[in-house]
């Protein structure tokens, strides 16, 4: 939910700013969903060119795309008067080619190197990374020819996005539905990150959300963390090419494509999951609001109401500090959510927990902290002056953190 101060005044993130993406659309009943994909790519800051097959333009006319994107939109090889070499031009200047939806026929043409329309010719002409999101009837998708063609594309380094199981045009339920537009765009961001991102080849483990410590089977001690900061960190790491694992207490938002998510509830479950997944990571980013104390004992049955004189007393015990006990060659990033003495408390935690970076935020200040889309933080690293960032969207805060992590990893490698 938005609505917190700062949500309207802070610029929305543009993770694809400066990128040029060719969206290839083919003749599938799902072609209309390419409108939303185009719009989302454009909103994410990309310059979007749209290359349609002649069949695609029957489902989703070029005219509509022209109203959605700022780049070239064409469905015809023969009337590109302004540029007779459009297929070469589109491919050459593209940072990525995304074909969504991709029909069985287009997948076959891509596998065989046939270029007889604008999307397939662009695929031959480009040296940019390619993602393909198949959409077709489930029987067609399962056909050995389609599967073999997809294998060929994968072996060539093409990213295959989906398809999903769901209701198909035939009315039947099966595997063949185009992935959700948010996921297709998430996959495109991952594709670009793996191609040239500062964290490609790295593995980042992120924790997110507030833990819940059981009082009895129905009640818990919790906090107001929404998990948003952690999700934004996972996205930003993914967008820089890292393999990302997220251990979190909340359901991930749509578009977190490519991130492995493990759901946990309590501090102890999070501790176990982090310990199990720590092996071989390059960075641990503890954005989760982990309970510092939990009920010493959780009642096995729901505690009954027994009147004012018999109000239960909760005895708390300390949890284990997950980030403090995690040691290894990886970069450790922690968070300090404070309501007073922000920098002094953050600096204490930085050294007590052996962190390489701490992200300090005053959760009482406007537009910051739990539940909001935005955050105003100060970054503290050992031996460095604190760096206060302006009020930013949480994704942009995450980008600043991940840029620091990438710089630390690079400095260590030197
Ligand atoms: O000590 P405090 O809870 O304020 O520290 C916050 C930082 O420590 C966060 O990065 C949080 O994820 C981490 N933490 C932890 N294990 C705990 C408590 C906090 O890793 N049990």
Cite the active site residues.
223
pLDDT in tens, 32-89: 999 999 999 999 999 999 999 999 999 999 999 999 999 999 988 776 556 667 878 8
Share of the chain above pLDDT 70, in %: 96
Query: Mean pLDDT, to the nearest integer, of 336-362?
Result: 93
Q: Is 67 exposed, middle or buried (0-12, 13-18, 19+ CB in 10 A)?
A: exposed
Instruction: Report whether pLDDT(175) > 50.
Output: yes
Contact yes or no for 412/356 (Cβ under 8 A): no
150's tokens? 């997809």
pLDDT in tens, 245-277: 999 999 999 889 999 999 999 999 999 999 999
Instruction: Report whether pLDDT(3) > 60.
Output: no
Residue nearest ligand 1's atom 8 by CA? 334
Residue nearest ligand 1's atom 21 by CA? 321
Pocket test for ligand 1, best of 323, 345, 359 (most atoms within 8 A of CB): 323
Kindly state if the Cβ of 336 falls inside 6 Å of ligand 1. yes
Q: What residues are paired with 206 via a beta bridge? A: 246, 285
**Which pairs with CB-CB distance under 8 Å and at least 24 residues apart come from 333-336?**
333/283, 333/284, 333/285, 333/286, 333/357, 333/358, 333/359, 333/401, 333/405, 334/286, 334/358, 334/359, 335/229, 335/286, 335/287, 335/289, 335/359, 335/360, 335/361, 336/360, 336/361
Kindly state if the Cβ of 73 falls inside 6 Å of ligand 1. no
Kindly state if the Cβ of 269 falls inside 6 Å of ligand 1. no
Ligand 1, atom nearest to 207 Cα: 12
Cα(380)–Cα(68) distance, integer angstroms: 42
Bond prior to 210 in cis (omega within 30° of 0): no
Ligand 1, atom nearest to 319 Cα: 21
- Predicted pLDDT at 126: 96
Q: How far is the CA of 62 from the centre of ligand 1 (A)?
A: 52
Contact yes or no for 181/162 (Cβ under 8 A): no
Residue nearest ligand 1's atom 4 by CA? 336
How many CA atoms are closer than 13 Å to the CA of 355, on its beta-carbon side?
28
What pTM was computed for the model? 0.93
Q: How far is the CA of 273 from the centre of ligand 1 (A)?
A: 15
Q: What residues are paired with 359 via a beta bridge? A: 335, 379
Ligand 1, atom nearest to 334 Cα: 10
Closest CA to 23 of 3, 40, 6, 4: 40
């Amino acid at each position: 939910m938005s609505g917190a101060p700062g949500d309207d005044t802070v610029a929305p993130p543009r993770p694809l700013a400066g990128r040029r993406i060719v969206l290839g659309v083919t003749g599938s009943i799902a072609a209309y969903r390419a409108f939303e994909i185009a719009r989302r790519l454009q909103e994410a800051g990309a310059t979007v060119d749209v290359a349609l097959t002649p069949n695609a333009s029957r489902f989703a006319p070029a005219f509509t795309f022209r109203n959605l994107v700022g780049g070239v939109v064409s469905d015809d090889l023969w009337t590109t008067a302004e540029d007779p070499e459009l297929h070469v031009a589109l491919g050459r200047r593209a940072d990525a080619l995304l074909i969504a939806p991709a029909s069985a026929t287009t997948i076959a043409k891509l596998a065989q190197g046939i270029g007889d329309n604008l999307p397939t010719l662009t695929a031959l002409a480009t040296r940019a990374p390619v993602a393909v999101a198949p959409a077709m009837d489930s029987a067609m998708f399962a056909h050995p020819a389609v599967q073999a063609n997809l294998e060929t594309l994968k072996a060539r380094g093409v990213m295959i996005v989906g398809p999903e199981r769901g209701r198909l045009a035939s009315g039947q339920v099966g595997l063949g539905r185009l992935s959700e537009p948010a996921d297709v765009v998430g996959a495109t961001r991952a594709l670009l990150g793996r191609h040239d991102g500062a964290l490609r080849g790295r593995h980042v483990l992120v924790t997110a959300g507030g833990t819940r410590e059981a009082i009895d089977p129905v009640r818990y001690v919790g906090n107001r963390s929404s998990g948003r900061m952690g999700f934004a960190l996972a996205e930003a790491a993914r967008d820089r090419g890292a393999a990302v694992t997220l251990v979190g207490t909340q359901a991930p938002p749509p578009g977190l494509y490519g991130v492995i998510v493990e759901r946990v509830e309590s501090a102890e479950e999070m501790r176990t999951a982090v310990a199990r997944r720590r092996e071989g990571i390059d960075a641990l980013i503890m954005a989760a609001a982990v309970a510092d104390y939990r009920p010493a004992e959780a009642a096995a049955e729901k505690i009954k109401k027994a009147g004012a004189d018999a109000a239960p007393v909760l005895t708390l015990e300390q949890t284990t500090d997950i980030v403090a006990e995690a040691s290894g060659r990886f970069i450790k990033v922690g968070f300090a959510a404070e309501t007073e003495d922000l920098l002094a408390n953050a600096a204490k935690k930085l050294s007590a927990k052996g962190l390489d970076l701490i992200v300090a935020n005053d959760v009482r200040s406007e537009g910051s902290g739990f539940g909001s889309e935005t955050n105003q933080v100060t970054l503290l690293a050992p031996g460095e002056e604190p760096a206060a960032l302006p009020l930013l969207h949480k994704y942009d805060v995450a980008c600043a953190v991940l840029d620091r992590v990438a710089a630390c990893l690079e400095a260590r490698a030197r």
